[in-house]
Amino acid sequence: MIIGVTGDYASGKDSVADILIEKGFFHVSFSNLIREELNKDKKQITRDNLIKRGNELREKYGSKILARLSLEKVKEGENFVFTSIRNSGEVELLQSREDFILINVTAPEKVRLQRIISRNRESDPKTIEDLRRKENIERSNDPNAQQLHKVAKMAKIVLVNDTTIDNLKIKVDKLIADWIFKLQPSRPSWDQYFMGIAETVKERANCMSPKKGAILVRDKQIISTGYCGSPKNITHCNENGCKRCKERHLGNLKSGDYSVVCICAHAEENAIVQAAYNGASTKRTTMYTTFTPCNVCARMIINAGIIEVVAKVQYPDNVGTKLLKEAGVKLRVLK
């Protein structure tokens, strides 16, 4: 999970981050990314310089640049806390992920000013008026500038931090417990899973026509795969093995003209043949194929006892589709 933390001056953003770090979260600060840029140019690290350089980066590379750079640091299976999020474009990119949530840490203005005075930093505001003036600098409507007011409104959770650090820890503990499972990335459906595998299988195709892939599945287990191309021990189509495909790509034959014999086997055909070669029954299986089958493959599917065909793209061969329907083979084209 990735927890983004935003909030006004002295609201407790860093305290929340520290609590999460203690719990094993990796910390990525957008401000640190800007500090690295200032260090390269040997510029002094001040709040004003950080704001200026951050705005320059957004103007040059787009409003989402800091979010993109931060996401490059994310490791799969680990928890992260992102801080110093100050632009709505950054939030839009982060919220496109299923594992991200933004929280806005708040505290009353007087409480925040007291915290600021207590930490006694030279550049910090000393009055309510100074505090408001400083915060207004970070509330721009410029899409490439700091937009803390807009970022705060985009937060899914408001975390009120107006008492002790112990109470804040309790709230952070509850936050994690409430969201740790909700923010787990969703798994693909079985259709998405098997079609994704068929898409990978098709990358092995050596036919010069559009690449196609097919797999046979029974009880959610793959029993066979196939892709289009020349038969075993025959020169690959894309290496001048099939005269018909070569002539078509040279412009001497039109698509659909089979006056010259094509030697390539279709993906569905190969999936069925490979099952037979390995002694696996195709009876009552489901075929996932990147294209709906042609009429020849449809006949093989029917006679192989396949009961369902799931396709990604509609192939322009209505004969095959009609044969499947008449034989009672279920056909689904994924949307």
- Plot region of 4 (φ>0 → left; ψ -120 to 50 → alpha; else → beta): beta
Question: Which amino acid, 199?
Answer: E
Confidence of residue 4 (pLDDT cuts 50, 70, 90): very high
Buried b (16+ CB within 10 A) or exposed e, 31-69: bebbbeebeeeeeeeeeebbbebbbebbeeeebbbbbee
Confidence of residue 247 (pLDDT cuts 50, 70, 90): very high
Q: What is the DSSP letter of 44?
A: -
Place of tokens 């505290």: 107
The mean pLDDT of the chain is 93
pLDDT(141) > 90: no
Tens-digit pLDDT profile for residues 178-218: 999 999 989 999 999 999 999 999 999 999 999 999 999 99
Quick one: which of 221, 227, 229, 236 has its CA closest to 290?
227
Question: Which amino acid, 187?
Answer: R
What's the CA gap between 6 and 163, in Å, rounded? 18
Quick one: which of 179, 154, 159 has its CA closest to 169?
159
Tens-digit pLDDT profile for residues 315-329: 877 899 999 999 999
pTM (two decimals): 0.78
State the angle between helix axes of 267-277 and 295-303 in degrees (0 to 180), rounded to the nearest 10: 30
Tens-digit pLDDT profile for residues 94-139: 999 999 999 999 999 999 999 999 888 877 888 999 889 888 888 8
Q: Which residues are tagged catalytic?
A: 268
pLDDT at 187: 92
Order of all β-strands in the sheet with 80-83: 26-29, 80-83, 2-7, 100-106, 157-160
pLDDT(286) > 90: yes
User: What are residue 314's DSSP bridge partners?
Assistant: none
Tens-digit pLDDT profile for residues 158-182: 999 999 999 999 999 999 999 999 9
Tens-digit pLDDT profile for residues 21-57: 999 999 999 988 899 889 888 888 887 888 888 889 9
Torsion of CA 24, 29, 33, 34, to 10 degrees: -160
